[in-house]
Chains A and B, each alone.
Chain A
Amino acid sequence: MMLKQKVSAAKGLMIVLIFVVGCSGNPLEDTSNFSRGIEAKEAPMWAKQVAEGKLPPLAERLPENPLVAKTNFDGYERPGPYGGTWHRFHTHPDLGTWKMTAGYAPLIRWKFDASGLEPGLAKTWEFNDDGSVLTLHLRKGVKWSDGHPYTSASFAFYYDLCLDERYKYSPPVWCKVNGIPMEVETPDDYTIVMKFAGPNWLVPLWLATGFWWCNQYNIPKHYMMQFHPDENPKYKDFIQFEKENIPHQNPERPTLWPWRVRKYEKGGFRVELERNPYYYVVDELGRQLPYIDRVKTSLVPEPQVRVLKILAGEIDCQYRGMELRDLALYLKGQEKGNYKVRRWKSTAGAQPAILINWTDPDPVLRKLIRDQRFRKALAYGIDRVKCNEIAWRGLLEPQAATVSQEGWHFADEDGQTLFEEWKRADADFDIAAGNRLLDEMGLTARDEDGYRLRPDGEQIEILMDVPSSNLNSQENDIGLIIQEGWEQLGLKTLLYTPPGAELSLRRTLGKFTISMHGEAEMDLFTYPDWVFPTLPKYWHPKVGKWYETGGEKGEPATGPLKKLLDLYDEIKKEPDEKQRHQYVRDAVRIHIDEGPFHLGSAARSPSLLVVANHFHNVPNDGILGPWAIVTPATSYPEQCWISKE
């Protein structure tokens, strides 16, 4: 029935369309709402409402000690006028790229240069002596976007939900020490006390990491209670609660973001946001942020359509979502599209890393792989310069697989020296040295095709998983270059391109011999798995499983992997930050001396962003890399402004 109606409606529309030509022009952006300059203390968008008494005056909407946006970066010009609309796109309906930009309202923030933490919703925080009690002091007078006070009750509410068995999410990993979840106390509206079963020094980092944690623990209790089964007998479970609690989908749900969602078109195809009248961050002059009134963002999953949108000048400012292969096109279109392309760092340590499965399902191969000489030979067989030149047009750097050089573990001179050594470890293309090592291992017997034989007389056959995605066509090129190199070592190499889900399944279940994965991490304390085998991922799937499940599943760690895990356990217990960094460096030393466990190709690509010429206060340089450090949100994009042309 419904379909028929739609069909007839569609036909009707067609008929109407045929008769409607040329009714009205195409009005461009409304610019009447711009403030003249920086004299305005209040955005014109609200000034009228305040005058009419519909909104309390600015002083009542701001907290006692508002957070002052940091401006200590190259590219910051000056405080801007209020007004305008920020046009951009998102690549996926979950709005991840937007949340990375302006969905970051954590208790504690990462600094923009990723050198440590700074206050967010919490003014200060402190541990007791043994690191088992963390006390956070909130800013007084912070309000949700509907004007309701933000207090410690919000965090307590979130944690109660975690403990509620009817709620699907259990307490997250950082809440637990030895498997025992923390206790949360809120002695007053502005104090949160977390009590752990033992030292848990990394919690502030977890609170600051990613947009996802803060969006989970900041729940507007006063609004969400209406969907709570205890409060509303209409609901038997939390299904409706969870739907209403998605901050980017529900315009009714109060938020702490600089821009609140005003309109969410089903499926996230278009989302409109407007300034949050109660936003708790101000500029140096004490003027409430954001400067820009509205944000319009639409879903553009097709990369080529994104390119056209940018070339057409339809985008005001876009972080992420541009591919390096289109750089020349973007540069060419700068003048016509009235924008500039900036190149930030991606800080990737390997694009991609070549993962060698420590727990290869084939026992003979596994034995070979655990021989350091074999892994070194594989490393010598990769022509990284060629990888860079062919797959990346020479825009990257050939090197061994590392994490991010800008990570805070390597901030001082010693750290950088160590890092340089890591980058160069076994990173030369040297077929002769590789062959020598394999001969030394006794793998001298060859078959009639010249391939080396395993100790059991079979041909050595290395199956390399290569992602099939058209997003990462570089990985296919790199796969071929590596294959060529390894064949010169007398190792039969086959490329295998499983469909996306199968590729990641093979990785997490440890069903591969060689696989690929992009690699970047700034903070190994919270996301340690590149260096420490803590999770069923990357080059250590089964050992990671063993560590993750407390020894129930997977395979126990031995040798260097055991050493690495012991180091990570020390990190969790260590009160001194400097010493924690030292443990990371010790782990890197193990990677250099007893590795490689995963091999590099090319690394450190530029990350493109597009900034229209009328768009201001965007940092010239920064890091658009891993998710855990929430860039560009840490540069306070709410202080970007648009000049009226």
Chain B
Amino acid sequence: MITYIIRRCLIAIPTLMAISVISFIIIQLPQGDYLDREIQRLEEEFGDSSSLAHVEELRARYGLNEPLWKRYFIWIGGFVRGNFGESFEYKREVHELIWDRIAFTLIISVGSLIFTYVIAIPLGVYSATHQYKWSDHFLTFLSFVGMSIPAFLLALSLMVFAFDIFGVPLFGLFSAYYEGAPWTWGKLNDLFKHLWIPVIVVGINGTASLMRIMRGNLLDVLGQPFVQTARAKGLKEIVVVSKHAVRIAINPLISILGMSLPGILSGSAIVSIVLGLPTVGPILLRSLLNEDIYLAGTLIMMLSLLLVIGNLIADIALAWVDPRIRYE
């Protein structure tokens, strides 16, 4: 088991290195650099870029005249020592910008994950045990709707309805008063009031499909001989289902856990942009559009790291549950 974990961890290192090289190259593939983008932005917003008086001097200052490989090594050299470089757009050290965004991203992602499992598993179980009853048909219908609505559309609709009915804008994680205020119980409460929307919106697709998987698995298991045996022994149906069948049927959902993290992270990016949430997604998008290379590179690395860790945990959990995995 230990050697398995160590081996998996060691594989993660070259994976991350490859990701860093590829992403750094891709970020810089389009023509031009940050300052060209900046000129373009000023012209778009104001029809005039005259506030950027010294473009060439700025280019030298940001090191944009250096060749690509040199910039990569400067960046990655700093990265391993915890120095992520400077964001051009925000004129700040990258590490000052990302940590609370990563924390909020995790809160939403983990929250959605919990939401997904907490809602999907009971509903899946219910659906399976009431196969072909009207309630099963109704849940099936709902889950198909849930799977096919894009998250951003749901976010937009929720925002419009909430605004129309309650007259409150639902974007952001805090109301205007608490934005930027120090942490208090009131602020925490305010966060909680806003948090449920992104959590549900991000989680809804996953919930729907997970519910279907749970239903299918359970139906499979319910048909197996050991369940018949349990029933024949005269156990109550609820004990048969919860204690014997569900425990087996839930097994594959653990491996799905690792795979659902990328989906939730990318899903939360789009929802965050729509809802104006302070997560990684919106600044990642902007940094890519603006060729803010060190910020974009760092964010991609951080997200990759999260994915690698997420998969690692899922793999370990799976290996722990199912010993056959370890010997493959």
Contacts and interface: CB of A to CB of B under 8 A. Distances in A.
A458 B37 CA distance: 35
B249 to A, nearest CB: 27
Among B51, B54, B178, the one with the most A-chain Cβ atoms within 10 Å of its Cβ is B51
Contacts, number: 194
Interface in B17-47: 30-33, 36-37, 39-47
B282 A301 contact: yes
B3 interface: no
A10 B111 CA distance: 10
A265 interface: yes
B305 A625 contact: no
Interface string B99-130: 10011001100110010000000000000000
A272 B91 CA distance: 18
A170 B57 contact: yes
B225 interface: no
A521 B48 contact: yes
A267 B99 contact: no
Given A312-B169, A500-B289, A518-B47, A14 B111 contact: yes
A26 B192 contact: no
Interface string B188-219: 11111001000000000000000000000000
Contact of B110 (A11, A472, A500): A11
Contacts of B30: 499, 501-502
B185 A24 contact: yes
Contacts of A25: 186
Given A300-B276, A311-B163, A267 B96 contact: yes
A272 B278 CA distance: 18
B190 to A, nearest CB: 7
A54 interface: no
Nearest to A268: B90
Nearest to B87: A267
B273 interface: yes
A471 B159 contact: no
A570 B96 CA distance: 51
Given A308-B163, A308-B171, A168 B60 contact: yes
A20 B189 contact: yes
A457 interface: no
Contacts of B177: 26-29
Contacts of A16: 188
B110 A308 contact: no
B167 interface: yes
A80 B283 CA distance: 40
A11 B110 CA distance: 8
A92 B289 CA distance: 14
A501 B185 contact: no
B50 interface: yes
B54 A625 contact: no
B10 interface: no
B36 A505 contact: yes
Given A348-B47, A527-B50, A501 B37 contact: yes
A92 B110 contact: no
A179 interface: no
A125 interface: no
B92 interface: yes
Contact of B107 (A14, A296, A301): A14
A626 B111 CA distance: 46
Interface string A493-534: 000001111111100000000000111110000010000000
Contacts of B273: 302
Interface in A159-198: 168-170, 172
Interface in B290-328: 291, 302, 305
A383 B69 CA distance: 49
A626 B47 contact: yes
A518 B43 contact: yes
Given A168-B57, A305-B276, A336 B167 contact: yes
A23 B183 CA distance: 13
Contacts of B167: 312, 336
A22 to B, nearest CB: 7
B192 A502 contact: no
A517 B48 CA distance: 9
B180 A272 contact: yes
Interface of A: 2-3, 6-7, 9-11, 13-14, 16-17, 20-29, 87, 91-94, 96, 168-170, 172, 210-212, 243, 246, 249, 263, 265-270, 272, 296, 298, 300-302, 304-305, 308-309, 311-312, 314, 320, 336, 346, 348, 351, 467, 469, 471-472, 498-505, 517-521, 527, 625-628
8 contacts: A14-B107, A308-B159, A309-B171, A314-B176, A472-B44, A500-B36, A504-B36, A519-B47
Interface of B: 30-33, 36-37, 39-48, 50-51, 53-54, 57, 60-61, 82, 87, 89-92, 96-97, 99, 102-103, 106-107, 110-111, 114, 159, 163, 167-169, 171, 175-180, 184-186, 188-192, 195, 273-274, 276, 278, 282-283, 286, 289, 291, 302, 305
When A and B form their complex, which 5 residue pairs have the shortest distance between CB atoms, in order from nearest? A501-B32, A518-B47, A501-B36, A270-B180, A24-B186
